[in-house]
Amino acid sequence: MKPSVVTIEPSFCKDCSIRGSSVCSALDASELRQFEHLGRRAQFAPCETVFSEEDIATSYFNVLDGVMRLYKLLPDGRRQIVGFALPGDFLGMNISGRHNFSADAIGAVAVCQFAKAPFGRFIEDRPHLLRRINELAIRELSQARDHMVLLGRRSAEEKVATFLLSWRERLIPLHGPSNTVALPMSRQDIADYLGLTIETVSRTFTKLERDGVIEIIHGGISLLDPARAEALAAA
């Protein structure tokens, strides 16, 4: 099934709720009007593939709404989730010309999709936009390094506590500070991100709730004892 695609209408970029945190935040009003003609809005249904690993990268994607899972399939068939993309994230930049991971929509997802060639021409004489893209690439690299450290944590409690705190931090620019943490991804997604089994993740959530660190609520968790969670994450 092909994603639903619509042309970006005039003023769409100007009124975009995530413009301040996205790649186009570097553009002035005049540049933004030109930029609008480069993109198209695409919508993906839950579990629909946005792009697949090793496919030729013909487009870039600026996430507008929803959450994506980013993953690689290992030679033995297991799935390793390497990250989760949120509104404002910019996907598709790579050196090889092919996607180095796959991206699926967790729930409904909306993106701005830009064809690679015209986008490349647009940034050629706009060093401020290139700097913004570099900033996003550095942020992505930092998240990848944090994930490597996370996989090296000793216990499941440490891994889960670190994940919950880092995910809460990533949601702050979108929803503001809160101890209620929405978790749109499944327990299996979390397990595949942390390098654990789904049974271990479920047991760990239950233990953290029993110990008064979190409360499991519909669609996420409530962080009851942030200091205890931070102590586990720092262990």
Query: In which domain, by residue range, is 101 found?
Result: 4-150
User: Is the pLDDT at 223 greater than 90, yes or no?
Assistant: yes
Q: What order of strands is seen across the sheet that includes strand 102-105?
A: 49-51, 102-105, 68-73, 79-85
Q: In CATH, what number is assigned to the domain containing residue 180?
A: 1.10.10.10
16 and 125 inside one domain? yes
135 and 87 inside one domain? yes
112 and 50 inside one domain? yes
pLDDT at 7: 41
End-of-domain residue from the set 119, 150, 181: 150
Looking at the whole model, is its pTM more than 0.85?
yes
Half-sphere exposure of 1 (CA within 13 A, CB side): 10
Q: Which residues pair with 217 in a beta bridge?
A: 220
6 Cβ contact list (under 8 Å, min separation 6): 40, 41, 42, 43
135 and 53 inside one domain? yes
End-of-domain residue from the set 133, 150, 167: 150
pLDDT at 9: 46
The vertex-85 CA angle with 229 and 209, nearest 5°, equals 25
Cα gap 51→49, rounded to integer Å: 6
Q: In CATH, what number is assigned to the domain containing residue 59?
A: 2.60.120.10
The tally of domains found in the chain comes to 2
Q: Could you read off the pLDDT of 83-138 as tens digits, one per residue?
A: 999 999 999 888 788 899 999 999 999 999 999 999 889 888 888 888 888 888 88
Q: For residues 94 and 53, is the Cβ–Cβ distance under 8 A?
A: no
134 and 156 inside one domain? no
Q: Could you read off the pLDDT of 145-200 as tens digits, one per residue?
A: 888 877 877 799 999 999 999 999 999 988 899 999 999 999 999 999 999 999 99
CA-wise closest residue to 70 among 88, 86, 58:
86
